[in-house]
Amino acid sequence: ETGVTQSPTHLIKTRGQQVTLRCSSQSGHNTVSWYQQALGQGPQFIFQYYREEENGRGNFPPRFSGLQFPNYSSELNVNALELDDSALYLCASRTGLAGTLNTGELFFGEGSRLTVL
Amino acid sequence: DAKTTQPTSMDCAEGRAANLPCNHSTISGNEYVYWYRQIHSQGPQYIIHGLKNNETNEMASLIITEDRKSSTLILPHATLRDTAVYYCIVNRAGTALIFGKGTTLSVSS
């Protein structure tokens, strides 16, 4: 089975620009989550999508938005980039219904490293 | 905020067992203990999880105390490739994982 793939792997933007990061979930997975990991910190939860609907969100402003498509691929969009948005952005997927007794493991991609100048 | 407390760093000799402790004194009855690790510049990797009973898989063993307020991840024969940041996470099934800063394990020859 294919793993979680993310693109691009690295990118550089300037303050105020917009960015779109993409994720292809592992085959058969219908739930995708996005995390932000600043240097030296653990990953922080941004939001989660299940069957194209957002069903959980962390403490991130509305300029962080996402989409999940019928094929379960996903996008993370960040508007009005700030210097503090520089981080590794991780996508993770798993099977099952969010919020139920699914204890399945999360499968993470290798991340997209965003640098904001 | 993360609900767990882990040492910042630990060292282990190659071939020896690595025992990584985690305190989660406020854990609720329906919360699981998960362990993930992150090797430098890679995404986190699932290791193991448990609710009450001890668990073992091909990667590691998880020992949970009877009162469930702490646990230990055991890597039975650590190798250089086990050098990573190890995250202990307490989580209700299906909800988002909340990561702390984890324990940096350094395995040396």
Taking CB atoms and an 8 Å cutoff, what residues of chain B touch A98?
Answer: 94-95
Determine the distance in angstroms separating the CA of A17 from the nearest CA of chain B, rounded to an integer: 25
Segment B10-67, tens digit of pLDDT: 999 999 999 999 999 999 988 999 999 999 889 999 999 999 999 999 999 999 999 9
Cα of A15 vs its chain's centroid, Å: 20
Residue A17 · residue A117 · CB < 8 Å: no
- Torsion B46-B41-A48-B102 (CA) sign: positive
pLDDT of A64 higher than 90: yes
Q: Does B59 touch chain A (CB under 8 A)?
A: no
Q: Which residue has the higher pLDDT, B95 or B69?
A: B69
Q: Is residue A95 predicted with pLDDT exceeding 90? A: no
pLDDT tier, B1 (very low <50, low <70, confident <90, very high otherwise): low
Nearest to A110 among B43, B96, B102 (CB): B43
Report the alpha-carbon distance of residue A48 to residue A31 in Å, rounded. 7
* Residue A101 pLDDT exceeds 50: no
Give percent above pLDDT 90 in chain A: 70
How far is the C-alpha of A78 from the C-alpha of A62, rounded, in Å?
Answer: 9
